[in-house]
Amino acid sequence: MTVLDSGEQRVERQPARDLAPVALVDLLDRLLGTGVVVAGDVVVSLAGVDLVEIRLQLMISSVRAAMEQGEQGREAGSR
Amino acid sequence: MTAPQPPVGVSADTGRYLYAVCRGLDAAAVDSVQGIDGATLELVDHRDLVALVSTVPLSSYGEEALRRNLEDLSWLETVVRAHDTVIHAAARHAPTAPLRLATVCFDDAAVRDRLREWYVALTDVLDRVDGCSEWSVKVLVPTEAPEPSETAAPTSGADYLRRKKSDAARRAGTAEAATATAHLVHDSLASHARDSRQLPPQDPRLSGHEGTMVLNAAYLVPDDAAEAFAGLVAGLGAEHPDVVVDGRGPWPPYSFAMLEQR
Cβ distance A37 to B71 less than 8 Å, yes or no, reads no
Strand ranges inside B106-207, DSSP E: 132-141, 195-198
3-state secondary structure B65-131: HHHHHCCCHHHHHHHHHHHHHHHHHHHCCCCEEEEEEEEEECCHHHHHHHHHHCHHHHHHHHHHHCC
ipTM of the prediction? 0.84
**From A9, A26, A45, residue closest to B226, measured CB to CB:** A9
Report phi then psi at B42, rounded to 5. Answer: -125, 160
* Segments making up each domain of chain B, as ranges: 14-129, 132-256
3-state secondary structure B15-47: EEEEEEEEECCCHHHHCCCECHHHCECEEEEEC
Q: Which of B25, B73, B260 has the most A C-beta neighbours within 10 Å, making it the best mutation to test the interface with A? A: B73
Q: Which of A5, A6, A10 has the most B C-beta neighbours within 10 Å, making it the best mutation to test the interface with B? A: A6
User: What is the per-residue pLDDT for B65?
Assistant: 81
Q: What is the pLDDT of residues B172-228, one digit of tens each?
A: 777 788 899 999 999 999 999 999 999 888 877 777 788 899 999 999 999 999 999
Q: What is the pLDDT of residues A48-75, one digit of tens each?
A: 333 344 444 444 555 556 666 665 665 5
pLDDT at B76 over 60: yes
User: What is the per-residue pLDDT for A47?
Assistant: 31
Q: What is the pLDDT of residues B144-179, one digit of tens each?
A: 765 555 567 778 888 888 888 887 777 777 778 889
Question: Does B78 or A60 have the greater pLDDT score?
Answer: B78
> What's this model's pTM, rounded to 2 decimal places?
0.77
Report the residue of chain A nearest B201, measured CA to CA: A29
Cβ distance A62 to B76 less than 8 Å, yes or no, reads yes
- Range in A6-10, A75-79, B105-109 the model is least confident about: A6-10
pLDDT at B32 over 60: yes
Type of residue at B153: A
- Residue A43's pLDDT band, with cuts at 50, 70 and 90, is very low
